């Protein structure tokens, strides 16, 4: 029987949410009569609202107002009121499974071997080379097996587009100007290429290969932006470095990335977002490796990494390098990254990237 209303419970990091969009898209396309809703963390809502519409996105603030057993019960009550008939637990946590049980959702799908798997009616093997494919398998119990597998795809929010157009316009960035974007942040310290390396890269590329560079990230990344600004010479009184760290909402970050001629980022959420917008991406991998299945997916993505016996040393990165050298990223030279940037630009010449900001 075709579900009437289905919830995709994905309360993980932004990059994981981006890699879940192919599952959402497969369900939407194969089950047009089904309302497909999202349950996400507050920071991920602006990512999925342009896809599903604000009316089909629910927020689970598990680290904030919805924390603890009381918060779990409140979220379950919100789900119960909406009378979902199918739930897909994208995450492998017991908390997610308990929430879906308390919500009284009669058909629950999740991964075999997950902490909450005894609470699922359908247990799907966690197999596949890439997270996108592992997640897509969760649609199989509903008879949905898309061929070929859809790629991650995002759309921008029109209000955020307008805000970013104004922000860039005020900074003298013309519509259509080739804008390099760099995202020096990452969730874990060991996944960060050093600020001095980002600065040296920008000095090699701006001005010249690109006219301007925008640095995106949180307020905690301001040191990187300052280091880059110190390294890059201005033209007359105009610095080519636009510091947007701590100045954009998530929706505006997506809109900035949609304007990027190319993004250089660590193994982090901006790399996934820009790739899903069809933008060229050079992503720098250190303690993690693409073979773990979490690399950004897109037609214009290059991963730069060093061949070291210690890699990978963790699944998601860590606060400290276990061997104390951080040579995976500290030893990555800006000339190698600049070569990857120029190589990607050359490969893309004549083959225009997908239009930014839209979803079919």
Q: Does 187 bind ligand SF4 (CB under 6 A)?
A: no
Q: CB-wise, 150 or 286, nearer to ligand SF4? A: 286
Calpha distance 295→270 (Å, rounded):
12
Choice from 22, 184, 240, 286 touching ligand SF4 (CB under 6 A): 286
Calpha distance 281→218 (Å, rounded):
19
Task: Please report how close the Cβ of residue 223 comes to ligand SF4 at its closest, in angstroms.
Answer: 20
Q: In what order do the strands lie in the sheet with 122-124?
A: 57-59, 35-40, 5-9, 86-89, 107-111, 122-124
Q: CB-wise, 191 or 259, nearer to ligand SF4? A: 191
**By CB under 6 A, what part of segment 297-316 binds ligand SF4?**
308, 310-311, 313
**By CB under 6 A, what part of segment 326-345 binds ligand SF4?**
326-328
Task: Please report how close the Cβ of residue 242 comes to ligand SF4 at its closest, in angstroms.
Answer: 31
Stretch that binds ligand SF4, among 180-188, 201-209, 277-285, 322-330 (CB under 6 A): 322-330
Total residues at interface with ligand SF4 (CB under 6 A)? 14
Instruction: Give the end-to-end CA distance of the chain in Å, rounded to a whole number.
Output: 26
Query: Residue 275 contacts by C-beta under 8 Å, 6 or more apart in sequence?
Result: 18, 152, 281, 296, 297, 298, 300, 301
Q: Does 192 bind ligand SF4 (CB under 6 A)?
A: no
Q: CB-wise, 152 or 287, nearer to ligand SF4? A: 287
Choice from 2, 322, 343, 359 touching ligand SF4 (CB under 6 A): 322
- Per-residue b or e along 16-31, where b marks 16 or more CB atoms closer than 10 Å to that residue's CB: bbbbbbbbbbbbbeeb
Q: How many helices (H) and strands (E) does the chain have?
A: 12, 12
Task: Please report how close the Cβ of residue 193 comes to ligand SF4 at its closest, in angstroms.
Answer: 11
Q: CB-wise, 123 or 306, nearer to ligand SF4? A: 306
User: Can you list the pairs that 320-325 forms with residues at least 24 positions away whose Cβ atoms lie under 8 Å?
Assistant: 320/189, 320/190, 321/190, 321/287
Residues that bind ligand SF4 (CB under 6 A): 190, 286-287, 308, 310-311, 313, 321-323, 325-328
């Amino acid at each position: 029987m075709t579900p009437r209303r289905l919830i995709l419970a994905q309360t993980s990091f932004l990059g994981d949410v981006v890699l879940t969009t192919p599952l959402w898209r497969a369900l939407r396309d194969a089950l047009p009569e089904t309302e497909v809703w999202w349950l996400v963390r507050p920071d991920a809502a602006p990512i999925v609202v342009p896809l599903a519409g604000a009316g089909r996105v629910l927020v689970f603030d598990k680290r904030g107002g919805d924390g603890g057993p009381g918060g779990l019960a409140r979220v379950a009550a919100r789900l119960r009121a909406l009378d979902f008939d199918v739930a897909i637990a994208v995450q492998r946590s017991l908390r997610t499974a308990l929430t879906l049980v308390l919500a009284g959702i009669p058909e629950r799908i999740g991964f075999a071997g997950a902490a909450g798997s005894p609470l699922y009616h359908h247990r799907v093997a966690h197999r596949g080379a890439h997270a996108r494919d592992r997640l897509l398998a969760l649609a199989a119990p509903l008879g949905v097996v898309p061929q070929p597998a859809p790629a991650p795809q995002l759309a921008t929010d029109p209000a955020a587009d307008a805000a970013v157009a104004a922000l860039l316009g005020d900074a003298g960035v013309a519509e259509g100007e080739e804008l390099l974007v760099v995202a020096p942040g990452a969730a874990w310290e060991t996944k960060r290429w050093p600020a001095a390396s980002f600065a040296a890269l920008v000095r090699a590329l701006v001005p010249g290969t690109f006219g301007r560079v925008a640095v995106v990230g949180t307020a905690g990344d301001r040191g990187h932006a300052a280091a880059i600004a110190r390294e890059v010479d201005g033209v007359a009184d105009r610095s080519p470095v636009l510091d947007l760290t701590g100045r954009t909402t998530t929706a505006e970050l997506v809109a900035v990335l949609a304007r990027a001629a190319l993004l250089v980022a660590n193994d982090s959420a901006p790399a996934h977002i820009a790739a899903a917008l069809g933008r060229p991406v050079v992503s720098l991998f250190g303690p993690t490796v693409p073979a773990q299945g979490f690399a950004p997916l897109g037609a214009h993505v290059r991963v730069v990494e060093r061949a070291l016996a210690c890699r990978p040393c963790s699944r998601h990165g860590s606060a400290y390098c276990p061997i104390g050298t951080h040579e995976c990223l500290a030893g990555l030279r800006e000339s190698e990254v600049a070569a990857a940037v120029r190589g990607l630009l050359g490969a893309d010449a004549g083959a225009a990237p997908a239009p930014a900001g839209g979803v079919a």
